[in-house]
Amino acid sequence: MCYSAQIQADFRAYQRLGGTLDLDAYVKMAGWSKRNGTWIQGVPKGIRNAFLDSTEPDEQEARAAALDAYQAAALALEQELAEQTARLAKAQSVLAGAKPTKKAETDQRVATRKISNAKAKLAEVHDHAKGDGYARIWPGGITPVLIRDPATGERRVVPMRYRCRLPSWTAADEKKWDGTYNARRDKLTTAWKELWGRTHGVMLARRIYESVALHDLEHRPLAPGERPVSVEVEFRPEPEQDLLVACLWRYVEPEGDEPGFYTVAAITGAPLPDFIAAGHDRSVIAIRPENLDAWLDPMSGALTDMVAILDDPVAISYQSSKVERDDSP
């Protein structure tokens, strides 16, 4: 399954596909991210900063919402930094005394790590420089999705959470079955039947990341006594391009303290040869640009037309490489 992707995070890049920015959805997303503390961790920089330099009158509410979320994030991080700095000082005092303790050792290690993390996030708060528009997302993160508004028929670009909450599910159900950032193609007519053929979208991505077993990547059996080890593999389309990743989406109505929000899942199917070669058993489906109109408007066609689109993905190959992790403290 596609557990991570490098997506085009700049809303405006979707405009070339005819999408209108959903400013109201952006404002609500920023407000919710401020409240639950995920503005820095869960929202890619390209989305956070989409309107910071805007002087357009109709975008000022979105700009203010982003600035407000940044301010709240900075205050929370400064408080975390102060608390962990005090914790570190206390631990170091104990360790320097006559009776050092294991707890002090643990506090020193944890506080040092949390101080480093808080400083890195604070740097993001103050760094509003524009990047190349791309960002990594993981399940639970925010990504722009191009959809056709069922009510108006217009194309909209909406920030959505990369994990779909299925109809009739509660937040508790979602925590119990947390793999719905992918919609298996062989489950579209069962688990996903209320979204399949109704609410289709696309996510622009230029890299796909999968977790595979090292021995599968190396095309060998496990050695006697060897335990499986997971590694991350990056898949790069050749030639380089933005993929139109087929998705299903759902709007979750407000309930209690939880505001309304959009959720999305990428459709995955049988693995392409390049994914099989890297030891993975599924792959996302990148539709052809000429099929975008039909894909976004499934109500006007039969499901057989949608199946045909998934059966005829864009003709590209993928280069794969193992992602080397930095395990230094």
Pair 262, 137 in one domain: yes
Whole-number Å distance between alpha carbons of 13 and 27:
19
Say if 118 falls within a structural domain: yes
Maximum alpha-carbon separation in the chain: 78
Say if 189 falls within a structural domain: yes
User: Of 99, 126, 153, which residue sits at a domain end?
Assistant: 126
- The tens-digit pLDDT sequence of the chain (329 residues) is 567 999 998 888 898 899 998 999 999 999 999 988 999 989 999 899 989 988 999 999 999 999 999 999 999 999 999 999 999 999 999 999 888 899 999 999 999 999 999 999 899 888 877 778 889 999 999 999 999 998 899 999 999 999 999 999 988 898 899 999 999 999 999 999 999 999 999 999 999 999 999 999 999 999 999 999 999 999 999 999 999 999 999 999 988 877 889 999 999 999 999 999 999 999 999 999 999 999 999 977 789 999 999 999 999 999 999 998 754 33
Pair 154, 197 in one domain: yes
First and final C-alpha spacing in the chain? 29
pTM of the model: 0.88
CA distances from 260 to 35, 169, 183, 316 (A): 14, 14, 22, 37
Pair 135, 122 in one domain: no
Say if 27 falls within a structural domain: no
Question: What is the number of structural domains in the chain?
Answer: 2
- Name the helix (H) or strand (E) containing 119: helix 102-126
Pair 107, 193 in one domain: no
Its domain, for residue 244, covers: 4-22+131-322
